[in-house]
Structure 1
Amino acid sequence: MFNGIEFTWEELQPVFVSIQLAVLTTIFLVILVTPLAWWLSRKKTTARSVISSIVTLPMVLPPTVLGFYMLVFMGPNGPLGKLTESLGIGLLTFTFPGLLIGSMVYSLPFMIQPLQNSFEALGPVPGEVAATLGATPLGAFFRVIVPLCKPGFLTGIVLTFAHTIGEFGVVLMIGGNVPGKTQVVSTEIYTFVEAMEYDKAHVLAGGMLIFSFIVLFVLSILNHRSGRSKA
């Protein structure tokens, strides 16, 4: 109950679905994107520009456009849809795994850009010094590069988590609004508004507003500390 407004368990489930989606999206993107961000920070070729533009595309594409093409991609006539059906998995559309894939694509730029910028700002010298001391490339990366680029990782993690929590267009297109499965906070707010339950929509929207402020506050602190450490 919030200020006299009572929510049922079914109405609170989207909060937990949103958190689960944001956590998994962030974890998978950290693992998958880190090598790509490192490669992009080191290569100065045409291929690098093309790939960089592709991974940044979700940042400028309207969410419904991205969601539509992801829906087609995972649908019965799409490449991924045909593959999952041939493997006996079934279609991923309107399921949580499908929602997770779409969320990872949509939040990709918010993870990769802070990492790439951090790697580029660090430069090649720390890795070269570690190599002269006998460190392997992999050892130098995890023992030297990653700790020095910690602010970039923290920024990417915070931005990705927050961006995933607030998704709407892509979520609605790929996952629909299935209660207990693909319904998240943003789509539940939309459902409450449609049902004219503005009091409950106010509670969830207010929570999102506070959450967004906290994210910006945390990022401001991280950037301030990063700036002081470089001074």
Structure 2
Amino acid sequence: MFGLSDADITALWITVKLASVSTVMLVILATPLAWWLARTRWRGKVMIEALVAMPLVMPPTVIGFYLLVLLGPRGWIGGFLESIGVGHLAFSFTGIVIGSMLFSVPFVVQPLQNAFTSAGGRVLEVAATLRASPMDRFFTVILPLSRRGFLTAGVLSFAHSLGEFGMILMIGGNIPGRTQVASISIYNHVETMNYSAAHSLSLVLVLSSFTLLMAIFALNRRFKVVSVA
């Protein structure tokens, strides 16, 4: 397919696996944070929002570097894991999953926060008058009304993870079959002047990203039409 080598197909599989795992875990973990940000009136909320948005402006290599320091054999987390015999997380698939989740936080939290803000208010008051518990209100009222936000968050996180390079290279290195993702494989092809292979792999990522974005616009338009009807 597209003239890809076995190594390129393996890199694509690792990329899709990374994007899938990190997206699912991030959506689960970010939902409570987004809900809190949408509902809280705490004045210090702006600091949390700034922290959430930082990956949008920080160089990926900076995030990757500090993760390497933290998760490496001499880091706080990596050193502790080494001391109990588990092993550090640098240059591992788990390490790049953590990095991908951190780097995609704003692409999940912000759409969910906006969706929760739009879905709240009057409808929650009505549900409360019907004696629905806070948990019931969230799962039976807020989640169905926020499906567009979840769709946007999931697709953006997945698509963003497909093309990440600098952060993964820092925390995961370039280990074939383990942490070598498609973007790093493209870089390797360019370094060896194998432009044909780089073009083939790049084309797969371009088409994948375009298809994902086209799907999210189409589904969002469909949800909008259904809600209006």
TM-score (norm 2): 0.94
In structure 2, which of residues 197, 202, 207 is the aligned counterpart of residue 205 of structure 1?
Answer: 202
In structure 1, which of residues 40, 43, 46 is the aligned counterpart of residue 37 of structure 2?
Answer: 40
Sequence identity (%): 48
In structure 2, which of residues 133, 153, 157 is the aligned counterpart of residue 156 of structure 1?
Answer: 153
Equivalent residue letter for 1:81: G
- Residues 1:46 and 1:75: Cα distance change in structure 2 (over 3 Å): farther
Q: Could you tell me whether the CA contact under 8 Å between 1:102 and 1:171 is conserved in 2?
A: yes
Equivalent residue letter for 1:144: V
Whether 2:81 is the aligned partner of 1:84: answer yes
Residue in structure 2 matched with residue 123 of structure 1 by the alignment:
120
User: Where does the alignment leave 5 or more consecutive residues of structure 2 unmatched?
Assistant: none
Deviation at 1:226, TM superposition (A): 4.4
1-side partners of 2:39 and 2:226: how far apart? 24
| 1:61 counterpart SS class | coil
Tell me the matched-pair count: 228
TM-score (norm 1): 0.93
Residue in structure 2 matched with residue 193 of structure 1 by the alignment:
190
Q: Could you tell me whether the CA contact under 8 Å between 2:38 and 2:113 is conserved in 1?
A: yes
- Residues 1:30 and 1:6: Cα distance change in structure 2 (over 3 Å): closer
In structure 1, which of residues 7, 16, 28 is the aligned counterpart of residue 13 of structure 2?
Answer: 16
| 1:46 counterpart SS class | coil
Deviation at 1:46, TM superposition (A): 2.9
Equivalent residue letter for 2:145: L
1-side partners of 2:4 and 2:74: how far apart? 43
User: Where does the alignment leave 5 or more consecutive residues of structure 1 unmatched?
Assistant: none
2-side partners of 1:160 and 1:6: how far apart? 25
Matching of residues 109-148 of structure 1 within 5 Å: 109-148=106-145
Q: In angstroms, what is the RMSD of aligned CA positions?
A: 1.5
